[in-house]
């Protein structure tokens, strides 16, 4: 039983069926498929993280994304345009050098480049030195890019469905029965289902589900807002990120510019956009690319992020037998969808935690072995 029919839930269901032949799987969702974070993120993929655990993990995801269109027979429009993170101060540049070296050791194409190279790569960036936040350098990660996030969700859903998995939309989980420390059933608005295994893949809402099973989690929910402009001719062929200015920009195949920001600075389950966000975003984008001042925003939206203290996910078993979590996906859940699904399916099928997610267990918060990714995950999309 998988709760949450987003990318993570559907990918887990697909790999359970495809890799392990387990097809008596149901995926429940209170809304519709891919209506949460899976359809609200800015669809950026990359693996240039800060810790070796993180880099290995996200790179496996990128490898799975590479072959996804063929595997699912669904055009996911993976555009490997390259990913550029800008440094506006010495601290950021130092972290980038650190990241580049960690990345290279793990065999990942990632290097620090100077403002002249940045200007060649993205001519529209203001690389002059007389701005409030001059660009000192950047971390360039050619394998990064963007993908069509809805297609990924639908591709997994269709492939899982063909293998016999059941997807129940509009089915809200209202309770989880635990007897003698073991999951026995899930109660929903459309009836009760007996099951011995439940995987919580509900991202922003995951604490509500975990609470039903009596599992405490170090997770808080905050909205993250994003926006999109009217379409224009292609001019931006790289994903551009600025941590200092809290913004990331990419151009879609249709020509719209997609902007994302950092999470709102307080916890909330509300997905309403705010004017403060649109104003702040526009100001920061113009600092990077002054030529965009005539462009118009088409719409803005928000998605819910389940933030953890160390900016790494929480995956694997919990204190309740049969209740597993795949949560704490904060602002980096979409790029990890395939590897998370693969690893969670492996965990359930073989009854043990595979090495690739061994460092991301819930128990790390009692052992103190955190996987600190804030330097590479916060505003790094």
Positions that interact with other proteins (CB under 8 A): 205, 207-208, 216-221, 265-270, 272, 274-276, 309, 365-366, 368
| Of 333, 296, 284, 277, the residue nearest 132 (C-alpha) | 284
- Which CB sits closer to other proteins, 301 or 365? 365
| Cβ-proximal residues to 299 (8 Å cutoff; 6+ apart), any chain | 227, 228
CB atoms within 10 A of CB 136: 18
> What is the nearest approach in angstroms of other proteins to the Cβ of residue 213?
15
> What is the nearest approach in angstroms of other proteins to the Cβ of residue 310?
9
Is the backbone of residue 195 left (phi > 0), alpha (psi -120 to 50) or beta? beta
> What is the nearest approach in angstroms of other proteins to the Cβ of residue 205?
8
- Which CB sits closer to other proteins, 24 or 270? 270
> What is the nearest approach in angstroms of other proteins to the Cβ of residue 242?
20
Phi, psi of 76 (to 5 degrees): -95, 0
Is the backbone of residue 33 left (phi > 0), alpha (psi -120 to 50) or beta? beta
> What is the nearest approach in angstroms of other proteins to the Cβ of residue 212?
12
Residues in the chain: 381
- Which CB sits closer to other proteins, 194 or 276? 276
Phi, psi of 7 (to 5 degrees): -55, -45
> What is the nearest approach in angstroms of other proteins to the Cβ of residue 308?
8
- Which CB sits closer to other proteins, 147 or 377? 377
> What is the nearest approach in angstroms of other proteins to the Cβ of residue 367?
8
C-alpha 115/C-alpha 136 separation (Å) is 6
| Cβ-proximal residues to 2 (8 Å cutoff; 6+ apart), any chain | 9, 12, 13, 25, 26, 27, 28, 198, 199, 201
Q: Tokens for 338?
A: 């395939």
- Which CB sits closer to other proteins, 47 or 312? 312
- Which CB sits closer to other proteins, 64 or 217? 217
- Which CB sits closer to other proteins, 189 or 267? 267
Beta bridge partners of 37: none
């Amino acid at each position: 039983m998988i709760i949450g029919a987003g990318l993570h839930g559907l990918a887990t269901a697909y790999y359970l069926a495809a890799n392990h032949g387990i097809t008596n799987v149901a995926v429940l969702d209170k809304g519709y498929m891919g209506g949460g974070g899976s359809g609200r993120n800015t669809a950026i993929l990359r693996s240039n993280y800060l810790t070796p655990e993180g880099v290995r993990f996200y790179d496996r995801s990128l490898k799975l994304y590479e072959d996804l269109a063929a595997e699912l027979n669904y055009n996911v429009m993976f555009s490997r345009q390259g990913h550029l993170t800008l440094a506006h101060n010495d601290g950021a540049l130092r972290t980038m050098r650190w990241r580049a070296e960690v990345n290279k050791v793990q065999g990942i194409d990632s290097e620090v480049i100077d403002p002249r190279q940045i200007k060649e790569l993205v001519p529209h960036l203001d690389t002059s030195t007389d701005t409030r936040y001059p660009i000192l350098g950047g971390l360039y990660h050619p394998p990064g890019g963007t993908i069509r996030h809805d297609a990924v969700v639908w591709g997994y859903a269709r492939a899982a469905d063909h293998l016999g998995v059941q997807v129940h939309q509009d089915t809200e989980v209202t309770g989880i029965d635990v007897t003698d420390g073991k999951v026995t059933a899930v109660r929903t608005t459309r009836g009760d289902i007996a099951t011995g295994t439940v995987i919580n893949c509900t991202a922003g809402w995951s604490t509500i589900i975990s609470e039903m099973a009596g599992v405490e989690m170090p997770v808080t929910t905050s909205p993250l807002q994003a926006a999109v402009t009217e379409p224009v001719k292609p001019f931006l062929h790289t994903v551009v990120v600025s941590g200092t200015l809290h913004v990331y920009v990419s151009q879609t195949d249709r020509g719209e510019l997609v902007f994302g920001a950092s999470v709102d600075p307080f916890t909330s389950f509300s997905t309403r956009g705010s004017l403060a966000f649109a104003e702040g975003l526009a100001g920061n984008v113009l600092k990077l690319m002054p030529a965009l001042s005539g462009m118009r925003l088409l719409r803005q939206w928000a998605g819910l992020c389940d933030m953890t203290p160390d900016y790494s996910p929480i995956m694997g078993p919990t204190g309740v037998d049969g209740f597993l979590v795949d949560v704490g996906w904060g602002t980096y859940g979409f790029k990890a969808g395939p590897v998370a699904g693969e690893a969670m399916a492996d965990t359930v099928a073989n009854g043990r935690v595979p090495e690739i997610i061994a460092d991301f267990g819930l128990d790390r918060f009692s052992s103190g072995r955190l996987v600190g990714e804030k330097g590479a995950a916060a505003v790094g999309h």
